[in-house]
Amino acid sequence: MTIVYGIPNCSSVKKARAWLDAQGIAYQFHDFKKQGIDGARLTRWIDACGMERVLNRKGTTWRALSDSQRAGADTPSGAIALMQAHPSLIKRPVIEQAEHTVLGYDEARYGEVFGQ
């Protein structure tokens, strides 16, 4: 089962979903703003891809945080708590397919993962 995690109005999520649709790949969409995201899943993504790739420090949500909130992201547990409180801090989309976790919109990587 392929699962796409993200926010529906995010342009990168829209591109990823369009790519999957064009390839005829079935997937389930998980809106982590509405449905939330559990700490164990965030931990798996961090283990697979690294904290710096999972935590989006470039967006408006990050810039709107206070200095003390940003400082909380210096530890994995603090970063996970921050991403759970503010799901827009998670790099989008996150695609899980079998043993693969893919962050962001990357057609070449999608082709490798899905054998396209």
The whole model's pTM is what? 0.92
Position 99 scores a pLDDT of: 86
Contacts of 54 (CB under 8 A, 6+ apart): 42, 45, 46, 79, 83, 90, 91, 94, 103
2-114: CATH, from 1.10.645.10, 3.30.70.20, 3.40.250.10, 3.40.30.10: 3.40.30.10
* Domain extents in the chain: 2-114
Compute the distance between CA of residue 114 and CA of residue 2 in angstroms, rounded to an integer.
Answer: 10
What b/e sequence results for 15-29 when a residue is b if at least 16 CB atoms lie within 10 Å of its CB, and e otherwise? ebbebbeeeebebee
Which position among 7, 10, 48, 49 bears the catalytic label?
10
Position 71 scores a pLDDT of: 94
Beta bridge partners of 103: 94
Residue 64 burial (C-beta neighbours within 10 Å; 0-12, 13-18, 19+): exposed
Compute the distance between CA of residue 93 and CA of residue 81 in angstroms, rounded to an integer.
Answer: 19
Per-residue pLDDT tens listing for the chain (116 residues): 899 999 999 999 999 999 999 999 999 999 999 999 999 999 999 999 999 999 999 999 999 999 999 999 999 999 999 999 999 999 999 999 988 999 999 999 999 999 87
Residue 10 annotated to the active site: yes
- Which alpha helices (DSSP H) does 38-114 contain, by range? 39-49, 51-54, 60-64, 67-71, 76-85, 107-114
- Beta-strand relationship, 94-97 and 2-6: antiparallel
Position 103 scores a pLDDT of: 93
